[in-house]
Structure 1
């Protein structure tokens, strides 16, 4: 029998609702941070993947980098309980800068060089004999496992196309210094993504738009087109992010949630405040906008001076704020992959007004699960229409929750990933060599 759902607490993943796997394996995971605390979307994904693999009975060897983000004793104990090995190598800013310079001489993207760590690579090479499969999360960790295949099956979880991501950032950046930096990174990452996939059994990507971008670059460079793609989106904890029937939404209220130092979120909310919010406020003077998230940059903090706008900074539980919103917004225009906030909003049964880009990696049905608008006047019009029609807003939110329950749980995505991992193991299996974990 599966366990009853236990919501996440203390910044830990909740229990996975899965039975032990009939066939077990051992996996090495290379990651450029520590999975806990879950302050970023990538940390959330890796932590939940570890939770899933452990619940299924697989052996997890985690090779991460200690970048100085502190873990609580509870979080440290959780990792040790769910992994059979936790190997975290120190990786400070000085080491990162040296790695970035070294990487440039090899033609690596800055984000790959920044996380180069010889001690981590050596530890992984030494431990590979004890696992059945290697899994690199993000291209930032790809170099640690690039030589594994075809000796053992290996996955590179790109998740999103950084080529698409940086190209969009360059198009939207206003700051000249940052625009030039991402222009350089865009050139480097395009060359890297077109080649690195060939050194792995599988490339994990979130959406068709990410695959299309990499295939186009391969054609542009007269290289073989990427052909080892497995679609592996993120999920959400539907016990933590769930409708709160006891909470009445504040009329005419909006919420935006995200890490407020990342460019995609900063651009999204400043664009909304400049071009959409005045239109909403003019038509509905009582409208309010709550901007929720950690590490707000100065330009985001300044938005709190606008009429009806509140910038909270970091909060203990974003779900508390989402639950009180009449509408959630995601006006992101740069970026790639998928928007975790979209799935969290949906899981809480909230109507969402978002851009087409925000929905790219999710595939929600426009008009049913989400309301899409890309121009300021269109977005303001859709928000005001939902303000004036609470019944329709509730219907969209209810449909969004059902959509997430059917398609966007961590368990659903990871069960498919596990199946693909077993297929990759079988493709290279030596029938005379036992698994690193027996059945």
Structure 2
């Protein structure tokens, strides 16, 4: 298995997904994990991974910071997009070639298309490519909605390169796996001849503590995320600057609580008596669990596509009522009004939050249905079993 991150500690959606899948896949498979790391100190986690999640771990350095002069120049004079250049490691390419030449493997599992350049082009070992999100759509949204106007023409060139190579590596894989119906439809729209399966994201149901009361006169509205992800910054800013002021007109004691890693100064600057900013360490899982347990409403005003949506599954597992944009819950298959309140404007989100605070029985009913839904559909054991069946299909179909 090749991942563009070390799946320990589990601070981002991708890390959480990979770590939990490895935990269950280990029961049936011997897995060699090759992961890219940004900091040599991450090697301290190798013994934990080899003890609990996989047979062997190899880590390979990539550039610590994305926007280095070397990466920018290489992107400018290359047909490859910045995302591929930034995540490429010659060390990883050599390590994978060595493993394939000196050991027998039934298949190669690659997480994210931009890790694919590390796989030897002539390998006979079948490749299963998992695209956790359609990357070019994510960057397309960023360029259109967030990027400074003078930079947009240049960035749009990179988006075109990104789209070309993402499609190229989909075609090169023996099987492509999406995490939602929506992503599968988009992949097949662009590449109708591909075989695409769905292996959704999951949630560790035993990890999160369930709420038992939904009555409050001082509501705390929670948003959780890893703020390396641009969409999370955008969503947090929307919640603080556009939704909270509308909520406070009816619920003056309401406050917003932003919890997550790598929060930028622009977000920290918004802290106030009504806005609590908790910038936590990457391995601080306890603070995440505590936030889901203590908050009253989970609000996800995500606008941009992509991402794992694990934050929403965690809220559902914690029986924390959710008010979300349609994009924020995309791909989870929930029934609006039964499992979560889905609405898209700041005004309608504020109205929904106020309604749930004023109607604790409604909030309780919503969370009971959402907890049952994740129990039935998003257990990692069930998801890992599905992925294991795909492994067997692909390895048996390839000479």
Q: TM-score scaled by structure 1?
A: 0.83
Structure 1 segment 358-373 matched on structure 2, within 5 A: 358-373=328-343
1:67-102 superposed Cα distances (whole Å, 9 cap, x missing partner): 1063485x3322122322211123234899546654
Match of 2:114 in 1: 140
Structure 1 residue 138, shift from structure 2 partner: 0.7
Structure 1 segment 4-403 matched on structure 2, within 5 A: 29-54=1-26, 56-68=27-39, 70-71=41-42, 73=44, 75-81=45-51, 82-93=53-64, 97=68, 98=70, 101-102=73-74, 105-128=77-100, 129-145=103-119, 147=121, 151-173=124-146, 175-176=148-149, 182-216=155-189, 218=190, 224-245=191-212, 251-305=218-272, 307-314=273-280, 316=284, 317=286, 318-403=288-373
> Given the superposition, is the C-alpha separation of residues 261 and 194 from structure 1 closer, same or farther in structure 2, using an over 3 Å criterion?
closer
For 1:118 and 1:262, the matched residues in 2 are separated by 25
Structure 1 residue 285, shift from structure 2 partner: 0.5
1:7-31 superposed Cα distances (whole Å, 9 cap, x missing partner): xxxxxxxxxxxxxxxxxxxxxx112
> Given the superposition, is the C-alpha separation of residues 241 and 328 from structure 1 closer, same or farther in structure 2, using an over 3 Å criterion?
same
What is the DSSP-based 3-state SS (H/G/I as helix, E as strand, rest coil) of the residue aligned with 1:242?
coil
What is the DSSP-based 3-state SS (H/G/I as helix, E as strand, rest coil) of the residue aligned with 2:289?
helix
For 2:144 and 2:59, the matched residues in 1 are separated by 37
1:118-148 superposed Cα distances (whole Å, 9 cap, x missing partner): 2211221221242111011111211122626
> Given the superposition, is the C-alpha separation of residues 32 and 99 from structure 1 closer, same or farther in structure 2, using an over 3 Å criterion?
farther
> Given the superposition, is the C-alpha separation of residues 160 and 270 from structure 1 closer, same or farther in structure 2, using an over 3 Å criterion?
same
* Unpaired runs of at least 5, structure 2: none
What is the DSSP-based 3-state SS (H/G/I as helix, E as strand, rest coil) of the residue aligned with 1:258?
strand
* Unpaired runs of at least 5, structure 1: 1-28, 219-223, 430-439
Deviates more, 1:247-256 or 1:372-381: 247-256
For 1:408 and 1:191, the matched residues in 2 are separated by 32
Checking the alignment, whether the CA contact within 8 Å between 1:235 and 1:410 is kept in structure 2 is yes
> Given the superposition, is the C-alpha separation of residues 200 and 103 from structure 1 closer, same or farther in structure 2, using an over 3 Å criterion?
farther
Checking the alignment, whether the CA contact within 8 Å between 1:160 and 1:205 is kept in structure 2 is yes
For 1:113 and 1:419, the matched residues in 2 are separated by 33
> Given the superposition, is the C-alpha separation of residues 146 and 156 from structure 1 closer, same or farther in structure 2, using an over 3 Å criterion?
farther
For 1:95 and 1:268, the matched residues in 2 are separated by 23
Count of aligned pairs between the two proteins: 391
User: Over aligned residue pairs, what C-alpha RMSD do you find?
Assistant: 2.4
> Given the superposition, is the C-alpha separation of residues 244 and 394 from structure 1 closer, same or farther in structure 2, using an over 3 Å criterion?
closer
Structure 1 residue 395, shift from structure 2 partner: 0.7
